Structure 1
Amino acid sequence: MSLKEIEVIAFDADDTLWENENFFRDAEKQFCHILKEFQPAEAIMAELYRIESQNMEIYGYGIKAFILSLMETALLISQKQIRPGQIEAIIAIGKSMLHKDVILLDGIRDLLEKLAPRYRLVVATKGDLLDQERKLAKSGLLKYFHHIEIMSHKKEDNYRELLKHLDMDAGKLMMIGNSLKSDVLPVINLGGYGVHVPYHTTWEFEQMDPAEIKSDRFFELKEIHDVLTLFEEA
């Protein structure tokens, strides 16, 4: 194993390049407040989690998929008694999320500045195509990246397609992200390198114990700028 063989460094986008998950947590609080007359917040969130689990394979990921699950949950929680004004308020949550400013995480621009001259940099993210394109355009980071890959899912097959597109072996790829399940584990299983940089809040569907990953190609860091220390030690 040697980091000297790395040629391409791929970055997740949401909660790796910029803030994202906290907007969903805020939206869930607003949603529970809208439906507070029907059920307590704990019951509403349990139902939302169940609905999202069922809908993931149909809708995929992102804000639009999230809002569809909110609407379905609202109908069930209210036993179809939800009022037009409440439906309007839920739709407004989604529109507000789609117009959020892109807030870069501390240190990311400096990191890209230092890595771009030495490696091919790639964005490998999942979510709604239009929304991710919007965020990338507003981020001011596009100039650093050789390739952008917006995936419907982030499983081993999706990364195989990325490797094929880049015409490279997995052993030359390093993937950096905040999700062990989506960003790290699939790439390690294919023979690549995975770097986990936790975000302060993690979507329930992405939670996993780092101790479950047994590989000398796995790295756990505290902050995104710590990525540079890996190559200093290589």
Structure 2
Amino acid sequence: MTMRIKTLGLDADDTLWHNERFFHLTQERFTELLADFAERDHLAERLLAAERRNIRQYGYGIKGFVLSMIETAVEITESRVPGHVIGQIIAAGQEMLAHPIDLLPGVEDTLEALRGRHRLIVITKGDLLDQERKLAQSGLGEMFDAVEIVSEKTPTSYARIFDKHGEGPATALMAGNSMASDVLPAIHAGGWGVFVPHGQEWALEKAEPPVDHPRYRQISTLSSLPELLAWIEAH
């Protein structure tokens, strides 16, 4: 009995376009600004701890990242951080928010191959305004049947989205670059989870892959998704 995948959920950041590399570049700038106060590795540990601590208050995205950098700077310097450093951290965040969208290779052709045959949904998390801006600037909006911007990707949120835009998780597949957010919760909801590694991964999105799970797959690029779907539907 073949399986027909009717609903495709696609992550946005680092699945459709580059994102994490801008965070890395800004963190390098942050490290240079505070080089007189802390070693690189110690500063990175403190910043990551602040990000983990602040997700519940600030959510995901650039604004939360900037606030976590400012908080870390205050802590590392024991409240002696110069005002111009705070100003440069804020400026770096503003540059990130204004950065043009850079699509990953093959994304447009892949979406063209998939649209019409499957219901396509962008499922992303983070700051609402920033995610809407990036989708609008990407030029990909018309290729999708729906857009879902959530505060957190959980089995419950995936089940709700796949019920709303399809026939439930059993005929749905989620593809993205985060094992923790795109793959595992989609599988736990009852759908397929496809890992598309980007190369630069945020530490808080890492998780062990469910290598033995029958609804888990990994592909090297999004361009391989149509071929994988054909295989799933033929078996």
Question: What TM-score, normalized to structure 1?
Answer: 0.96
The amino acid of 1:139's aligned partner reads S
Count of residues in correspondence between the two structures: 232
5+ long unaligned stretches in structure 1: none
Which digits, 9 at most, give the CA deviation of each residue in 1:134-156, with x for residues without a partner? Answer: 00000000011000000100111
CA shift, 1:209, in A, is 2.7
Could you tell me how far apart the structure 1 residues matched to 2:128 and 2:190 are?
28
CA contact (8 A) 2:119 2:166 kept: no
Which range moved further: 224-233 or 54-63?
224-233
How many angstroms apart in 2 are the aligned matches of 1:213 and 1:163? 23
Partner of 1:232: 230
Match of 1:92 in 2: 91
1:174-193 superposed matches below 5 A = 174-193=173-192
User: Per the alignment, in what secondary structure is the counterpart of residue 5 of structure 1?
Assistant: coil
Q: Which amino acid aligns with 2:4?
A: E
Deviations 1:18-66 (A, max 9, x none): 0000000111100011111111111111110111111111111000010
Partner of 1:124: 123
SS at match of 1:124: strand
Q: Identify unmatched segments of 5+ residues in structure 2.
A: none
Aligned equivalents of 2:77, 2:211: Cα separation in 1: 42
Aligned equivalents of 1:229, 1:167: Cα separation in 2: 21
Q: How does 1:31-180 map to 2 (within 5 A)?
A: 31-166=30-165, 168-180=167-179
Q: C-alpha distance in 1, partners of 2:137/2:227?
A: 29
**Partner Cα separation in structure 1 for residue 212 and residue 169 of structure 2:** 17
- TM-score (ref. length: structure 2): 0.95
TM-superposed CA distance for 1:167, in Å, is 5.1
One-letter amino acid matched to 1:225: S
Is the 8 Å Cα contact of residues 185 and 213 (structure 1) preserved in structure 2? no
Percent of residue pairs bearing the same amino acid type: 41
Aligned partner letter, 2:99: K
Letter in 2 for 1:224: L
